[in-house]
Amino acid sequence: MLQNHMNKKKPTVAYFCMEYGLDETFKSYAGGLGILAGDYLKGAKDHEFPIVGIGIKWKQGYTDQRIDENGKPYDAYHNYEYDFLEDTGVQVPVTIKGSEVQCKVWKVTAFGNAPLYLLDTDLPHNPESWTTGQLYGWFGEERIAQEIVLGIGGVRALRKLGIAIDVYHFNEGHALFAGFELIREKVAAGATYEDAVAATKAETVFTTHTPVLQGNESHPIERIVYMGANMDITEEQLEELGGSPFNMTVGALRLSKKSNAVAALHGETANKMWAHVDGKSDIVPITNAIHMPTWVDNEMIVRAENGGDLWEQHMKNKKDLVDFIEKKNGVRLNPENLIIGFSRRAAPYKRSDFIFSDPKIIEPYLKSGKIQIVFSGKAHPLDDTGKGIVANLVKMSKLYPSAVVFLQNYGMEIGAALTRGSDIWLNNPRRPMEASGTSGMKAAMNGVLNFSILDGWWPEACRHGENGWQFGDAFESTDEKIQDAHDLKALYQVLENDVVPTYYENREKWVSMMKNSILDTKDYFAVKRMLEEYYSELYEA
């Protein structure tokens, strides 16, 4: 019986996502969502899981965000050409605002990933050729058009390619219109709407990421109908599925047999956040993970497992980071002194510039060079608050030129350099706003010690003072001023009493913590475990 179970064929999964971070040279990702999707497809290839990816070929990708002479971020866009795209010879039509738009289908397998199929509307004579221009470039009609291409075009591409799918996985609500196309197919074959919804639900799963209500996209129902995304689903049926205005996350929660959050704590947050939604699927936690060959120096793993010299290898990685920073910014940090890394999206709740809040405490460390901090991160092109945070980080780098660095145009290359070469990985979001935070996993496996709020994945791994540090003791307040004051005091307390003294006065303990960090995370937070849980908890459930 067990043998039969073991030999049972795994279901084939189509994974729909707006962005994929496969390589620095392939401008098809914006941030953590795309990096997760890229790691997921690489893991599927490595461990032979039957998964194909569906996405969009973005002509200009996400913003190149540079810093101008006044220290302010600005956005630049470029048309990209790639020589690794394979032409499938397949085109599929979608209808946008009553016009037929052809979507060319490209295949990507160049980065050690499971097959990824990308839809492209940038074709001569296409009435809406701009649709696949910029990743997350717009919000209204344009965003719906992009999601028609991803979801409806994606299902049609699978049909024309002849790929039989058992499970449709929507990574965030952007892919929901794929569900509408699945319903349309079943109704066209003679099913009632109710039966078509039930059958679609039985083959669909959904991952929710954003724990910020405003970050969960919604559209006026009339706009969805006007754009042609509804696939003959009536306005009343749309409202029943996703409310009015139509919330893409709510629709996906109701059109899936099962959903997941991306960390244990995020599971609690998401269940509270969506508790009011009747008829939604269960939301189970499946903690994100990383593709180790992409992000981790394997020599650090080997030395941690076999008692090798971790500090020697870490210093090699650290000097590589110092060289990388000098090449990028012309600033040479001191590799002997503590380097704190911080790279993530410049969203207000992530509090990128938080450590500078009390100059009386932090300034002496920066002026002496005892603490050096390297930042990177992009703000959304339309987020002026986020851009203000970036401008402040640049200002701090000018105020403390030998101790604070801001690396512009954050991407995979910068992320990899920082998570390998820093000593400390700082993370200070307002709990419980961080869904997962996979950069901390990359740092941990490279022996870079996490110094973080107990948010996202860190509560599952943290052994304070043994494999990293936490600060704030999981405190939460609905009053941001109270939360910030509490967390800032806690940050400085652990930094001054634990992190700095251990680094400078107890190298033996520091190296022991590095070893614990690597050994505690290298298996559980690697992509194979995540894929196995997706199969057992979602796909085969």
Q: What phi and psi values does residue 65 have, to the nearest 5 degrees?
A: -110, 110
Are 482 and 404 found together in one domain?
A: yes
One-letter amino acid of 324: F
Say if residue 236 is in the same domain as residue 327: no
pLDDT at 210: 86
* 296-310 per-position pLDDT tens digit: 999 999 999 999 999
Cα-Cα-Cα-Cα dihedral sign, residues 383, 388, 389, 393: positive
Quick one: which of 440, 444, 533 has its CA closest to 207? 533
Cα dihedral 39, 40, 43, 45, rounded to 10, equals -110
Flag the least confident range among 104-113, 188-197, 287-296, 345-354. 345-354
Are 489 and 533 found together in one domain?
no
Instruction: Using DSSP, state whether 385 is helix, strand or coil.
Output: helix
Q: Distance (Å, rounded) from C-alpha 247 to C-alpha 241? A: 9
Tell whether 335 and 247 lie within a shared domain: no
Look at residues 246, 271, 288 and name the one whose alpha carbon lies nearest to residue 37: 288
Greatest pairwise CA separation for the chain in angstroms: 75
Contact, 316 vs 300, CB < 8 A?
A: no
Q: Are residues 317 and 415 in the same domain?
A: yes
Q: In angstroms, rounded to a whole number, what is the distance separating the alpha carbons of residues 226 and 141?
A: 9
Residue 1 has pLDDT above 60, yes or no: no
In a domain, 4, yes or no: no
Count of C-beta atoms within a 10 Å radius of residue 335: 17
Which domain does 473 fall in, by range? 292-525
79 vs 59: CA distance, rounded Å:
6
Q: Are residues 303 and 330 in the same domain?
A: yes
Within 10 Å of residue 60's Cβ, how many Cβ atoms? Answer: 18
Q: How far is CA 498 from CA 104, 335, 374, 465, 505, in A?
A: 56, 20, 20, 8, 10
3-state SS string for 97-140: CCEEEEEEEEEECCCCCCCEEEEECCCCCCCCHHHHCECCCCCC
Residues 245 and 273 both lie in one domain: yes
pLDDT of residue 7: 58
Please report, rounded to a whole number, the percentage of residues in the chain having pLDDT higher than 90: 95
User: Minimal CA–CA distance to 476: which of 484, 466, 468?
Assistant: 484
One-letter amino acid identity for 26? F
- Distance separating alpha carbons of residues 189 and 417, to the nearest angstrom: 53
Same domain, 249 and 363: no
- pLDDT digit string (tens) for 371-427? 999 999 999 998 999 999 999 999 999 999 999 999 999 999 999 999 999 999 999
pLDDT tens-place string over residues 100-158: 999 999 999 999 999 999 999 999 999 889 999 999 878 789 999 999 999 999 999 99
Q: Are 267 and 155 contained in the same domain?
A: yes
Contacts of 75 (CB under 8 A, 6+ apart): 63, 64, 65, 381
Instruction: Read off the tokens for 365.
Output: 């460390």
| 140 belongs to a structural domain | yes
With respect to residue 34, please indicate whether it lies within any of the assigned structural domains.
yes
Residue 35 maps to a domain: yes
Say whether the peptide bond before residue 293 is cis (omega within 30 degrees of 0).
Answer: no
Q: Each residue of 235-290: pLDDT tens digit?
A: 999 999 999 999 999 999 999 999 999 999 999 999 999 999 999 999 999 999 99
Alpha-carbon Rg for the chain in angstroms = 23
Q: What φ, ψ does residue 228 adopt, rounded to 5°?
A: 90, 20
141/187 same-domain check = yes
pLDDT at 290: 98
Q: Is residue 5 part of a domain?
A: no
Is the Cβ–Cβ distance between 333 and 322 less than 8 Å?
yes
Residue 229 has pLDDT above 70, yes or no: yes
- Give domain status of residue 208, yes or no: yes
| 323, amino acid identity | D
Q: How many domains does the chain have?
A: 2
The residues with which 405 forms a beta bridge, in sequence order, are: 374
Smallest Cα–Cα separation from 460: which of 358, 533, 393?
A: 533
Give the residue among 455, 441, 442 at the shortest CA–CA distance from 483: 455
Q: How far apart are the first and last CA of the chain?
A: 19
Q: Whole-prediction pTM value?
A: 0.96
Co-location of 415 and 437 in the same domain: yes
- Helix or strand run (H / E) with residue 375: strand 371-376
Percent over 70 (pLDDT), the chain: 99
Q: How far apart are CA 290 and CA 445, in angstroms?
A: 10
- Alpha-carbon gap, residue 235 to 71, rounded angstroms: 48
> Torsion-angle region of residue 34: left (phi > 0), alpha (psi -120 to 50) or beta?
alpha
Residues 116 and 242 in one domain: yes
The CATH number covering residue 67 comes to: 3.40.50.2000
Q: Is residue 517 part of a domain?
A: yes
Tell me whether residue 137 is in a domain.
yes
Q: Is 342 helix (H, G, I), strand (E, B) or coil?
A: strand
Question: What is the phi/psi pair of residue 324, to 5°?
Answer: -60, -45
